[in-house]
Amino acid sequence: MKRQIPAPVATFGSHSPSTYTGALVHVVPATAFPSIQNASALRGRIAVVQRGDCSFAAKAKSIQAAGAIGMILTNSSEELVRMGEAFEREGAGVDIPVLMVGQVMGKSLRDGTQVVLEVKHELAKVGHHHRFHQAIDRSSFFVVPCASHFYKLVSKLSRKLLNTQTESSKLA
């Protein structure tokens, strides 16, 4: 069972239509600041990092330097913000894909889970001045966890629901 979760991509970092596959690793400390303590564990993997303590671009540079192939930033709320223009200059040289997910999704990402980050492009016309339309690139990532992780989750939720229903019927 695959599950696709659209997530906004930073305006810095990789925007090429590509697919990145790797295991998740949570960064220590969670905000990747002031320095990454588990840098060797990130090599060839997709880093999960929490928002806070330093800029999005500073996190991405540290994570890329540690050898990660991608970065999933978990927000402190469900709001997904644009990691954009203010960080483009600071993010120069970042070549890995950088995306953001909400707090709930971020908490569900577990170390070792295999995911696919699929960069998709959709050109959209925005703005209108006389006959000029500006085309912008609206990139998204899709986090596709492997079935085994979600099978365990669905199995656990099913047991919990069954136990709740059993307890409710005893009270009735």
Question: What was the pLDDT predicted at 84?
Answer: 67
Residue at 141 is within a domain: yes
pLDDT at 128: 42
Q: Say if CB 42 and CB 60 are below 8 A apart.
A: no
Flag whether 61 is in a domain: yes
Question: pLDDT value at position 94?
Answer: 86
Instruction: Single out the residue of 35, 26, 77, 78 nearest to residue 53, CA to CA.
Output: 35
Q: Is residue 40, in this structure, part of any structural domain at all?
A: yes
Phi-psi region of 139 (alpha: psi -120 to 50; beta: other; left: phi over 0): beta
pLDDT at 39: 96
- Cβ atoms of 24 and 98 within 8 Å: the answer is no
| Of residues 59, 70, 119, the one with CA closest to residue 96 | 70
> Which residues of the chain register pLDDT less than 70?
1-9, 11-12, 14-17, 84-91, 118-172
Q: Indicate the number of domains in the chain.
A: 1
- Provide long-range contacts, Cβ within 8 A and 24+ apart, for 154-161: 154/1
What pLDDT, on the 0 to 100 scale, is given for residue 31? 96
Q: How far apart (Å, rounded) are the C-alpha atoms in residues 62 and 13? A: 13
Q: Can you give the residue range of the structural domain that contains 41?
A: 5-147
Residue type present at position 43? R
C-alpha pair distances (Å), 158 with each of 51, 146, 171: 32, 19, 20
CATH number of the domain residue 139 falls in = 3.50.30.30
What pLDDT shows up at residue 150? 44
The reply to whether 166 falls in a domain is no
Q: What angle do CA 113, 114, 119 make, to 5 degrees?
A: 125
What gap in Å lies between CA 120 and CA 140, rounded to an integer? 6
Global model pTM greater than 0.75:
no
Distance CA(36)–CA(27), nearest Å, equals 7
Nearest to 26 by CA among 71, 60, 77: 71
Beta carbons of 5 and 150 less than 8 angstroms apart? no
The dihedral of CA 37, 39, 40, 46: what is its sign?
positive
Any domain includes 36: yes
Residue 89 lies in a domain: yes
pLDDT at 34: 93
